[in-house]
Amino acid sequence: MEREKFSSRLGFILISAGCAIGLGNVWRFPYIVGKYGGAAFVLIYLLFLVVLGLPIVVMEFSVGRASRKSAALSFDVLEPKGSKWHLGKGIAIAGNYILMMFYTTVGGWMILYFFKMIKGDFTGMSAEAVAGEFGGMLANPGLMMVFMVITVLICFGVCALGLQKGVERITKAMMLCLLCLMVVLAVHSVLLEGGSEGLKFYLMPDFGKMVETGIGEAVFAALGQSFFTLSIGIGALAIFGSYIGKEQRLTGEAVNVTVLDTLVAFMAGLIIFPACSAYNIEPQAGPSLIFITLPNVFNHMVGGRLWGTLFFMFMSFAAFSTVIAVFQNIISFATDLTGCTIKKAVLVNIVLITILSIPCVLGFNLWSGFMPLGPESTVLDLEDFVLSNNLLPIGSMVYLVFCTSRYGWGFKNFLAEANEGKGLKFPAWARIYVSYILPLIVLLIFIQGYWSKFAG
């Protein structure tokens, strides 16, 4: 059966960007930008994004387009006879499933809070009561299970419609709405009375603050964020390369995806910092920012119920864009490996993903005594650690070495695939960098991830 293709280049760019754009863009990026010196940190981050993340994105796209397969079979198609590169599929398959084991739960939180905002549940609440609402949700496994299942059913329902009629058409509309919502929210936040201090904090370079927190720590934070923001290394982007034609060179497409991902992360800061400054509320990292800090901000704001509803609509779209993209990859694993129909792959994986997502839900309540990474840690923290600190860097290393080594696909084959079509070329002179220096940087990130987790 001939492989489906995207109906438009815009569809490919928006869906690939949707896979990269995730909740970390909103609840992690703005916070670490503020922590490490505002615009000074952004400049370092952008540098690392270009020299570190971009080449691996191009490699994933190239492997996908050359093989016309998902990561389940792409190495089998391209590897030299007798080699074992196909074993790398295990990292990709595990990475996509583990990501969905906790992402579906968090996506469910976004839908629930969207409805809470519409109903006005937070209106008139004190800061303590808002925090109590979040704690009450985490303590209620039944409620979280319902919204986790809703997320699974909606997103697999989109995938069941097919690539063009489902994934492409719906994700394009969702991503365009997401970008429009961000512009509206950012403009409103920037114009708030008293928001200028937050804007200054976010956009004015403060090298003194970077020195204060530690330049080395800031550099590693920028390095890590640039690497993990694109979800590279588990074939989540390679699958979309397998659906794209040969008309465009892949470096330009990778640049487009990276720019969109960065734009969303940057605009999240424009929404959050001026609003927090206007109402003297300290921004925090992680879920507390989204589910405690920002509902408090909206409570103080004129028309806050409307703005809060729009914000959680945007957050739901951000979550869904990633879930749909990864579900499409998971479905492709099944169809490539077994030859089954898309509908059968969808039905089996609805059951499988739902079961696999249960530990994350229970980790906040019935299994809260299980603290795998130390005090206050949960099942979600463990799943995120396995993915972010292990499978993403290891998988990225596999793609790097496969695309540059003469024992793998080889740099010549990679370069020919990446540069087929028109647009921005991947430079041949970068061979030394991507073959030797970049793998060392990825290894350093891998080691630093463990060091910061267990020795920091």
Break the chain into its structural domains and give their ranges.
7-453
- One-letter amino acid at 372 equals P
What totals of helices (H) and strands (E) does the chain contain, helices first? 24, 0
φ, ψ for residue 265, nearest 5 deg: -60, -45
- Sequence-distant (6+) residues with CB within 8 A of 341 are 335
Helices 54-67 and 392-404 pack at an angle, to 10 degrees, of 70
Tokens matching residue 207: 């090298």
Position 268 pLDDT exceeds 90: no
DSSP-derived 3-state class of residue 88: helix
pTM attached to this predicted model: 0.92
Q: How many C-beta atoms surround the C-beta of residue 219 within 10 A?
A: 16
Concatenate the DSSP letters of all residues of 102-165 into one string.
HHHHHHHHHHHHHHHHHHTTTTT--HHHHHHHHHHHHT-HHHHHHHHHHHHHHHHHHHHT-III
Position 171 pLDDT exceeds 80: yes
Predicted local confidence at residue 403, as pLDDT: 97
Instruction: Say what percent of the chain tops pLDDT 90.
Output: 53
Residue 85's pLDDT band (cuts 50, 70, 90): very high
Predicted local confidence at residue 456, as pLDDT: 55
Q: What mean pLDDT comes out for the span 139-158?
A: 97
Half-sphere exposure of 57 (CA within 13 A, CB side): 29
- Sequence-distant (6+) residues with CB within 8 A of 38 are 201, 202, 203, 204, 205, 206, 209
Class of domain 7-453: mainly alpha
415-to-56, 63, 236, 411 alpha-carbon distances in Å: 13, 11, 21, 6
Half-sphere exposure of 9 (CA within 13 A, CB side): 13
| Cβ atoms of 273 and 283 closer than 8 Å | yes
